[in-house]
Amino acid sequence: MPTPIAQLRQRIAAQRIDNPAMYGGVDFEIHPERLLLDGDVAGSELRSYPKAAARLLENTELMERIAAYTLMGDAVADPYAALMPEYGFRRLVDMLVEACDKGADKVEGAPAELVTFIRSMEATPAWVDMKMVEEGARLHRVSFANVAPWAIRGAFVATFMNKYAALPMALTGTLSNKTAARRIKETATFFGTSVLPGALARFGPGFKAAAMVRLMHSMVRFNVLSADKWDQKIYGIPIPQVDQMPAGLISDFLISSKVLREGRSDFTPEERAQIELSRYRCFLLGLPEDLLAETPQGIVDAWNARALSLRAGFDEATCGGLLRATLEADLIDTSTPQGQVRARLERSFAKVYFMQNFCNGSEKAAARFGVQIRAIDKLRATAVGVGLMGQMRLYGVAAKTPVVRHLADQRLVGKVRGYLGSLGHAEFTTDAAKYKPAVAKPAA
């Protein structure tokens, strides 16, 4: 059952009491500028879909829930991150790594906040079917191994299209080529690790990666709120729960949208396995069950409700800077002629992928966000796309052929591991010393 709205609001207000080091100066009675609840569809991120928006506005319970989670951080990771002044960020990272590898009870001098953090991740909900999660990971390996190395940049760019959601990343110094590349690689590392066999088991690498991602987000919240660079009246709180939905549930949204377009009301067994993988992965990332819908319509509605509640706004200094840094980031080793060719192909494919998936296929819309699509980009993207389609079809056939199914999956596991190896070591940390000044400008 969903958490009653009144109880949810009590939890939001309790953040000041439970974690004063982080939220003591936050007034949770303030209605931030980013949050739209007055039916201003034209001013929201769902403005291009007025019919869907009109239907959602009638679902007041869902809209109130989305609004509430716009003011909610991570109830267990945030208190641990707030120990930075006492322990230092490196010690917190080291203790978390040890707790993930050995168990919280094996960490000498582990603070209660760390124990609570790990215990909450170990408390697997009754709805989780690990066999189904493993099957979802197997199915996801096909797309990740083949498409992710080409599309990750384009998908990452899409997270910077709204200034209200993007500002925390700007404050952490992601406006630089080097830092943007690190963030992209960390994102790819987490999602890639999560589709490996057994990765999301208690002592698997995916479990640890999820814990590290949560700590990184909580460190951002702590550093931003304590550095006096954040205007709560405009932006609310940094990286609220609803802003983690796009990355965690993008595959669920795409699958669910396809189901609804085909006139179906439920998932096939293969689709359900992939949905359950994402839902469990999101649980490990700290998303509340209230935001993890089970049905195609529920998933699409939750996704669109978040867009309807988010005021549209593209700020050139924040969004434009993040976008350019992401497009310019060096993700591929160009020390060889082959690497140089692959880098050019990858950048072009990422730009076209962004245009097709986040700008409704409009070159003009992409250009408004600073992504210029040239004729050579289309040509390169087409060449890559044809190759990817061929690979996906071959693996699709192999997956249905008993004799070669296992061999094909082993090959995919090898490709995922090879890609992860090319990304290097992911730190999943954010140090206040690396923060760069940013000005939070109010909307016109």
Residue-by-residue DSSP string for 409-432: HHHHHHHHHHHHHHH--------G
Contact 237, 224 (CB under 8 A): no
Q: How far apart are alpha carbons 221 and 73 in whole angstroms?
A: 8
Does residue 325 form part of some domain? yes
Of the segments 226-230, 234-238, 393-397, which one has the largest average pLDDT value?
234-238
pLDDT in tens, 70-99: 999 999 999 999 999 999 989 999 999 999
Does residue 234 form part of some domain? yes
| Mean pLDDT of the 9-38 span | 93
Does residue 16 form part of some domain? no
Does residue 38 form part of some domain? no
Contact 352, 377 (CB under 8 A): yes
Number of domains the chain contains: 1
pLDDT at 432 over 80: no
pLDDT at 173 over 90: no
Could you write out the DSSP letters of every residue in 34-91? Answer: TB--S--GGGBTTTT-HHHHHHHHT-HHHHHHHHHHTT---TTHHHHHTTHHHH-HHH
Q: Which residues contact 354 (CB under 8 A, 6 or more apart)?
A: 154, 155, 157, 158, 366, 371
Contact 120, 284 (CB under 8 A): no
Query: Which residue is associated with the tokens 């289309």?
Result: 378
Q: How far apart are alpha carbons 118 and 352 in whole angstroms?
A: 40
- Pick the more confident residue, 390 or 370: 390
Beta bridge partners of 311: 44
> What is the band of 294 on the pLDDT scale with cuts at 50, 70, 90?
very high
pLDDT in tens, 110-147: 999 999 999 999 999 999 999 999 999 999 999 999 99
pLDDT in tens, 28-40: 999 999 999 888 9
Does residue 193 form part of some domain? yes
Does residue 100 form part of some domain? no
Beta bridge partners of 35: 310
Tokens found for residue 197: 């066999």
Write out the residue range of the structural domain in which residue 344 sits: 67-74+130-426
Does residue 347 form part of some domain? yes
pLDDT at 435 over 80: no
pLDDT in tens, 309-337: 999 998 888 888 888 888 888 888 888 99
Q: How far apart are alpha carbons 253 and 233 in whole angstroms?
A: 30
Centroid of chain to Cα 372 = 25
pLDDT at 427 over 80: no
312 vs 9, 29, 33, 282, 379, CA distance in Å? 25, 22, 11, 25, 32
pLDDT at 440 over 60: no
> What is the band of 429 on the pLDDT scale with cuts at 50, 70, 90?
low
Q: Which residues contact 84 (CB under 8 A, 6 or more apart)?
A: 92, 219, 222, 432
| Mean pLDDT of the 339-356 span | 92
119-122: long-range contacts (C-beta < 8 A, 24 or more apart)? 120/76, 121/207, 121/210, 121/211, 121/284, 122/202
Can you give the pTM of this predicted structure? 0.89
pLDDT computed for residue 437 by the predictor: 36
Does residue 1 form part of some domain? no
Contact 247, 81 (CB under 8 A): no
pLDDT at 426 over 70: no
- Pick the more confident residue, 12 or 443: 12
Contact 311, 234 (CB under 8 A): no
- Pick the more confident residue, 207 or 398: 207
**Type of residue numbered 269:** P
pLDDT computed for residue 39 by the predictor: 85
| Mean pLDDT of the 168-192 span | 79
| Mean pLDDT of the 377-387 span | 95
| Lowest mean pLDDT segment, chosen from 84-88, 424-428, 432-436 | 432-436
Closest CA to 416 of 197, 151, 161: 197
Percent of the chain at pLDDT exceeding 70? 94
Provide the 10 A C-beta neighbour count for residue 87: 16
Count Cα atoms within 13 angstroms, Cβ side, for 141. 29
**Type of residue numbered 196:** L
